[in-house]
A and B are shown apart, each in its own frame.
Chain A
Amino acid sequence: MNEVKPAPHLESRDEVTILFAGDSGDGMQLTGTQFTETTAIFGNDINTFPNYPAEIRAPAGTLAGVSGFQVHFGSKSIYTPGDQCDVLVVMNVAALKANLKNLKNGGMIIASSDGFDAKNLDLANAKTNPLDDGSLAQYQVHVVDVVRLTKLALEGSGLSSKDMERSKNMFVLGMLYWLYSRPMDATIRGLQEKFKKKPDIAEANIKVLKAGFNYCDSTEVFGTRYSVQPAKMPPGTYRHVMGNQATAYALIAASQKSGLPLFLGSYPITPASDILHELAKHKNFGVRTFQAEDEIGAICAAIGAAYGGHLAATTTSGPGMDLKAEAMGLALTLELPLVIIDVQRGGPSTGLPTKTEQSDLMLALYGRHGEAPLPVVAAYSPEDCFYATYEAARIALQFMTPVICLTDGYIANGTEPWKFPTSAELPELTVKFAAPRDKDDAKFLPYKRDDLLSRPWAIPGTKGLEHRVGGIEKQHETGNISYDAENHEFMTKLRAEKVANVAKTIPLQSIDSGREKGKLLVLGWGSTYGSIKTAVRELISEGYDISHAHLRYINPMPSNLGEIIYNFDQVVVPELNNGQLVRLIREKFLVPAIPYNKIQGMPFAVSELKNKFTEILNAKMSTKEAK
C-alpha cells in the first residue's frame, strides 16, 4: 500500500546566507557559482564571496586546504555576502572546524558523512567526531552519505569510481535547490556548456544533481522547505557579474567607445590574473593581451602601446604595483594615457595573496619618487568595477595621464546582479590625435596644453610630428630636455595642477544613505560599500542619526567633499587597513575623523560596523548629556 507522504512544511524567509565549504578539490566554487546563477535568475538580490585557500594544492582534508563560497540572497536588497550563515554545507571535518564560528546559533549544518571518517578526523586534528560527540547540539545537523548516494545514482554509467565521486558536489547542490525551492534548469544548461566536450561527464553531473533534489523530495531529511521570494529590484534586465570580469568588460567597452584598440600588458598575480584571462578571450574585439616576463615588462609594453596610440592598460596587485612604480613615473612625465588596475590584497610583501585588504591607498597616491601625483579612483562593488574602470579610462584619455583604479580581492572575486548598460548608454569617449603638419607649419609643440592642461597625443606615423619625449625633465611646451631650475618648478606644479583639474570633470560627492546634515557621517571608499550601506540603513531604521557617503574619487576628491563633512558633528572612516583615507581626511579638512580599522584579510561584518557606529553615537550623546 502506498504511504501518503505529507507535503513538507513551507516557510518563507527574507534573506538567507549559505556557506559551501570543502576541500579545494571538492568543487565548492562551482557549487557556489551555480547556486548563485540560479538564484540570480530566480530574481533574488544576491551577493557572494569566495574564500580560497592560499595554496592551490594544500593537502586534502587539512584546515589549510579548505575552500569556501558564501552566498547571501534575499527578497530584499542585499549588499554584502552576509556576516554569519544560516546554512553551513561541509564536505569534511576540516571544513566544519574552519567555518563553524561563521554559523549562526541554531543554524543548519549539512555534512557529507564520507568526510568524517577516521582519516579525515586525523587530518583535521580532531580528537573526536563532532558529528557524534555532542559538540553540535545547538545546531540542526543533517548527515548525508553523499558519496554513496552519488555512486548509487551513477550505477551502470560506466564511469570510474573516482569520476563518480567527483560529482558529489552536484548532489549537495540538488539538495539545496530542493531546500530553497529553486529550479534546476539554469544549472543543467550550465553543466552542458561546461562539459561540452565530455557529454558523459555532463550527463553524470546532471543525474546526480537531480538525485540530490529527489532524495530530499522522497525522504524526510528536511522537515521544512523554504521560499525566498524575488527581490523588488529596479525594473530592467540583469545578469550577474564578478568584479574582475566587470573590470575586463570596462576596458573593452572603453576601447570600443573610443575607437582605440585595447592593449593589456600584464603578469600573472593573484587576485588580478582573471582580468588577463578574461581579456585574452576577446580577440574578436581586437584586444591585444601581452603576458610579459615580469610586472615591469608588462607596464613598459603598455607604455609603448600607449605611445603608439592604443588604449593601454596594466593589471596587477600590490607587489606588482611596487615593481611598476618607476614606469608609472615615466608614463606620468611622458604624459601618456594608461589605465593601471590594482586589485589589492593583504600585504606587505607576499602578505595574504588570496585575502582582501585596502592597504594600497597610500601607495597609489604617493608610491613613486619625486613629485608624482596621479588620479586615483576606487571601485566599491563587483558591478562598480565596470564603472570605476571605465571612468579611469575616460580620465586617462582626457588628461593624457596614467590613472590608478583600485579594486580588491573581495569585490574582484565577488559577484552580484548587474543591471548592465547598453553600449549606447555609456558616456562617449572622444579621442583626437594630433593632426599631421606640413613643412611650412609652425614647429610642433608636444607639450602645449589645452584648457585643462592636457597635452596632445602625437602618435608615430603622423607626418610632421617627429618629436622626442623622455623621462628627463622637459621644457614647457617643446618637451626638449631642460635642467633649468625654474622650469622644473613650473613643470612640477603644472603636472600637479593638471591632475587637480580632473576634479572639474567629475560629479559632486553625494550622500548614499541618510540625511545631508546630522550627527555622524560614515565616509567609506572601495569594497566596504555594501557592509557600510547595510549597517547605516539598519541604524537609520532603528532611529539613529547617521549618514553614509562613499568616495569613488580619491585623487582628486570631489570639490564639495569638505562641505559634506562639515555638515556633520563627527565623521568615521572604516577601512580594511591600518588607517589610510582617514589621514587624508584629517589632513585635508582638519577634522578629527575617527578611524575604524580591520586588518584580518576579511571584509567588515555588518554587525561590527553597527557596534562601532552606535558606540560613537552613544558616546557623543553621553558627553552631551554630561554637559
Chain B
Amino acid sequence: MAAYSPMAAKKAVAQAETPLAKANGDLNVLSPKDFASDQEVRWCPGCGDYSILKQVQTVMPELGIPRENIVFVSGIGCSSRFPYYMDTFGIHSIHGRATAIASGLKMARPELSVWVVTGDGDSLSIGTNHFVQLLRRNLDVQVLLFNNEIYGLTKGQFSPTSREGIVTKSSPYGTIDHPMNPLALALGAEGAFIARTLDRDVKHLRDILKRAHQFKGTSLVEIYQNCVIFNDGAFFPFTEKETKSENDLFLEHGKPLVFANGKKGIKLYGLRPIVVDLDGQVSLDDLWIHDERDRTKASILTRFFDMPGSEHYMPRPFGVFYAEERFRYEDAMLDQLNAAKQKGAGDLDALLRGKETWTIA
C-alpha cells in the first residue's frame, strides 16, 4: 500500500463520489427567507442567537450552495436549536457530539457544506475532545461556537468560559474555575482557521461567516453571544457604544493593529506587545502588521484575553486570527481510497475466497 503523502493530498481536490447537485438558475432567486424553516423560533426575546440566525440566513444565498447540499449539525444547548430554524438539512444531536457527527458526515460526503452550531458548554466542556480532534484533522467544516459564558438551557450554571468568581446557581459563592481561553485552545489543537466575532456587529459577523465558508479546512468562529437571561452584559465592554472602541481590536490581514478610533496602536517588542499612542510620534509602519499566516503572532493575539481594567489588559481582538490552508482529512482519505482502487477495485469473491482454499469432492 502506498504511504500517504501530505504533499500529494494538499494538491488533491476533494472528488465528490456522489454527484453534487448543480448550482442552477434557481439559486439566484433564493433569499434569506428561503433559508428560514416553518418552525417557530423559541429563544428568549432579546437573545443574541436571533441576530446570529438572521446573519447566517442572510449570508446563505450569497454562498451559492443549493439548499439541499447544506447540513447544519448541532449538539445540545440553546444555540443547538439552530438547525430547526434553517430550511436546509439538519441534525440536532446529543450533548458535545456535533463535531464528531459532522466529521463522519463530511468524511462520507465531502461535497456537502457542513456547519456545526455549538456552544461553550457543548464544545468546551462535554465535547472538548471531539472539538479539538476536528480542529487538528482539519475537515472542511464551519464551526460556529456561540460563546455566552453560561449554561442557558439548564437555567444558569457557570460554563467553562465563565469568568472567575461569577455567582451562578451552581456557584453561589462565586466560581473557583479558571476560565478556558477557546481560541488559545483551538490554536493549540492545530486549528487552521481561527476567528472571533460578535452577535451585535452584524456586518463583521457576516464577513467572518463568509471567510469561514471560503476557507478550505475546519474554520472555527467564536461568536460572543449575549444571554439576556442568565449572563446579560457579559460582553458589553466589547459591544456597547461607550466602551467598544477602546476595547475592540479589529484584525485585518496586512493592516497595522490600530484601535480606539485610530488613536492607539500595538507594537511588538520581540514577542512583547505594547500599546502605543498614535499621536504622530509613531508611524503606522512601525506597528504590528497583522499576518493571518503567522502562527506565533496569532498565538500572542489569542492571549489578549484579560478583561478591561486588569493588569495585563490588551484590547480584545476580533476578526481572523489565523488562516493557513493545509491538507484536509477528507482529501487525504479519498486520496488513499483512489490510490487503492487504481491498483484494482475490490473483488468480493476473491476476498471471500482468500489465499488458501481446499476442495472436498
Interface residues of A (CB under 8 A from B): 37, 40-43, 186, 189, 193, 230, 233-241, 249, 252-253, 256, 261, 263, 265, 281-286, 288, 290, 292-294, 296-297, 300-305, 307-310, 312, 326-327, 329-330, 334, 420-423, 459-472, 480-481
Contact = CB atoms under 8 A, between A and B. Distances in A.
A467 B337 CA distance: 31
Contacts of A239: 353-354, 356-358
Contact of A297 (B20, B93, B100, B358): B100
A193 B354 CA distance: 14
A302 B104 contact: yes
25 contacts: A189-B356, A239-B357, A241-B354, A249-B352, A263-B104, A265-B104, A283-B340, A284-B343, A286-B341, A290-B104, A290-B107, A292-B100, A294-B129, A303-B93, A304-B101, A307-B71, A308-B108, A310-B108, A420-B352, A460-B109, A461-B112, A467-B89, A468-B83, A470-B90, A471-B93
B348 A252 contact: yes
B229 interface: no
Contacts of B86: 468
A285 B333 contact: no
A501 B18 CA distance: 32
A548 B304 CA distance: 72
Given A263-B104, A300-B101, A284 B349 contact: no
Interface in B70-84: 70-71, 73, 76, 83-84
B92 A471 contact: yes
A296 B93 CA distance: 13
A304 B83 contact: no
A304 B73 contact: yes
A283 B2 CA distance: 11
Contact of A300 (B67, B100, B353): B100
B285 interface: no
Given A292-B100, A466-B67, A304 B105 contact: yes
Complex A-B, nearest 7 residue pairs according to Cβ-Cβ distance, in ascending order: A304-B104, A301-B104, A470-B92, A285-B346, A300-B100, A304-B105, A283-B340
A93 B90 CA distance: 63
A312 B337 CA distance: 17
B17 interface: yes
B87 interface: yes
Interface string B140-172: 000000000000000000000000000000000
A463 B108 contact: no
Contacts of A312: 104, 108
Contact of A263 (B18, B71, B108, B341): B108
A621 B19 CA distance: 70
Contact of A238 (B91, B93, B346, B357): B357
- Is the interface on chain B under 10, 10 to 19, 20 to 34, or 35 or more residues? 35 or more
B88 interface: yes
A444 B87 CA distance: 12
Given A41-B358, A302-B104, A305-B107, A252 B340 contact: no
Contacts of A326: 94
A94 to B, nearest CB: 33
Given A249-B352, A263-B107, 4 more contacts: A292-B133, A297-B129, A422-B352, A470-B90
A283 B337 contact: yes
Given A40-B358, A261-B108, A463 B84 contact: no
B69 interface: yes
Contacts of B97: 296-297, 300, 327, 330
Interface in B212-246: none
Contacts of B112: 308, 460-461
Contacts of B351: 249, 252, 282, 285
A284 B350 CA distance: 12
Interface in B24-41: 37, 39
A559 to B, nearest CB: 32
B219 to A, nearest CB: 18
Contacts of A285: 345-346, 348, 351
Interface string B100-135: 111111111101100000000000000001100100
A40 B93 CA distance: 49
Contact of A236 (B90, B339, B355, B360): B360
Nearest to A241: B354
A252 B93 contact: no
B37 A300 contact: no
A252 B129 contact: no
A305 B104 contact: yes
Interface in B290-333: 333
B58 interface: no
B3 interface: no
B358 A282 contact: no
Contacts of A294: 129
A290 B97 CA distance: 16
Contacts of A193: 355
B182 interface: no
A327 B112 CA distance: 23
B130 A460 contact: no
